[in-house]
Amino acid sequence: MSTTFYAEESANRRKSFLLALLVVAFLAVFGYIIGYVVGLGSGNEAIFGIGALLIAVAFGFLGAIGSYYGGDQLVLASSHAKEIGPQQAPELFNVVNELAVAAGVPMPKVYIIDDPSPNAFATGRDPQHSSVAITTGLLQKLDREELQGVIGHEMSHVRNYDIRFTLIVGVMVGSIALLAQLFLRYTFWFGGGRSRDNNNNGSGGLGAIFLVVGIVLAILAPIFTALVQMAVSRQREYLADASSVELTRNPHGLERALAKLAADNEPLHSANGATQHLYIVNPLKKLGGGSALFSTHPPIVDRINRLRQLTGDAPMDPTEVKQLTGLE
């Protein structure tokens, strides 16, 4: 069944927005439970809970603000990316400029990562403060049409504000993980508040339930955050693929580029767990990092078949699938 990139964009925007709400809701509920447990025995458990809820959400938003203004520079520095001018890579600058015009966004800063592994990512807080980083391997191994497909994908991340979205959601899920660690340490050292000293106010039974629920949530928090990061990144990758087709009017360039990037065996040493979700294909798979279940990227086969749906082409045949199976 064929579809359009407009339908892809609409569906993925809705799913990503719901995922963001889910993160905020989990942060709020977890914060309330922590506050309630801390306040056990005081007679003001609900007030403690509401206060902790507000603090947890505020903590997440403050972290998101910090990443909003400085997260992109940290990402670029950790990736060993160097800013370049048009004289150093004229074809690359030409492609970036033409796709920025097509996307209706300002020309982003262009960075090069000196690494033979073909890959690329975009970062920044908005289209006016954005950057694209491309490895030297990408420039050497892709032709112009394939390069256009990759840059169109990254420019779509800029235009669709994915660059802001991933920074903010990343910090908020990190806040959940931090709260989980703090709560587990608190229950270990203090045994879940003062309820053991004063259970006469009727909060003992309910407090025990909140304590158990809080411990369960704290234990499950790392799994929850990993799933959210995976889901957010995967939906955004599908959206950027569809948007790249809109900008380039050529799904075949991106399709060929994805196949080349997936089949390349060069590891990207500057990538890490904190930045892997930014790249067009998962750079850690070539290093043996992570599992397919918790991968931040959808399978290459699925991405290529979705591109083929846009043009009505047949999905990959078994021989093609065999060449790419397990590569993400």
Point out the residues that are catalytic: 154
Whole-number percent of the chain with pLDDT over 90: 31
Residue 83, beta-bridge partner list: 111
Q: What's the pLDDT at 287?
A: 44
Q: Which of 117, 109, 67, 69 is nearest to 92 (CA)?
A: 109
Q: Which of 7-16, 26-35, 157-166, 308-317 has the lowest mean pLDDT?
A: 7-16
Q: What's the pLDDT at 86?
A: 93
User: What tokens does 229 get?
Assistant: 């990061």
Q: Which of 198, 197, 189, 193 is nearest to 210 (CA)?
A: 193
Please report which confidence band the pLDDT of residue 196 belongs to, taking 50, 70 and 90 as the band edges: very low
pLDDT one-digit tens code per residue, 60-76: 777 777 777 887 888 89
- Torsion over CA: 33, 34, 40, 43 (sign): negative
Q: Based on C-alpha coordinates, what's the Rg of the chain? A: 23
CB distance 303 to 235 below 8 Å: no
Interhelix angle for 204-248 vs 5-38, to 10°?
A: 160
Please report which confidence band the pLDDT of residue 132 belongs to, taking 50, 70 and 90 as the band edges: very high
DSSP β-ladder status, 130-135 and 109-113? parallel
Q: What's the pLDDT at 140?
A: 95
Please state whether 202 falls in left (phi above 0), alpha (psi between -120 and 50) or beta.
left
Please report which confidence band the pLDDT of residue 2 belongs to, taking 50, 70 and 90 as the band edges: very low
Q: Which residue has the higher pLDDT, 146 or 265?
A: 146
Distance CA 184, CA 222 (A): 13
Please report which confidence band the pLDDT of residue 97 belongs to, taking 50, 70 and 90 as the band edges: very high
Q: Which of 35-39, 150-154, 207-211, 283-287 has the lowest mean pLDDT?
A: 283-287
* 298-323: b (≥16 Cβ within 10 Å) or e: bbbbbbbbbbbbbeeeeebeeeeeee
Backbone angles phi, psi at 26, to 5 degrees: -65, -40
C-alpha separations of 292 from 142, 200, 231 in Å? 26, 51, 13
Q: What's the pLDDT at 298?
A: 85
Distance CA 292, CA 129 (A): 33
Q: Which of 8-17, 21-30, 215-224 has the lowest mean pLDDT?
A: 8-17
Please report which confidence band the pLDDT of residue 262 belongs to, taking 50, 70 and 90 as the band edges: confident
Backbone angles phi, psi at 113, to 5 degrees: -110, 120
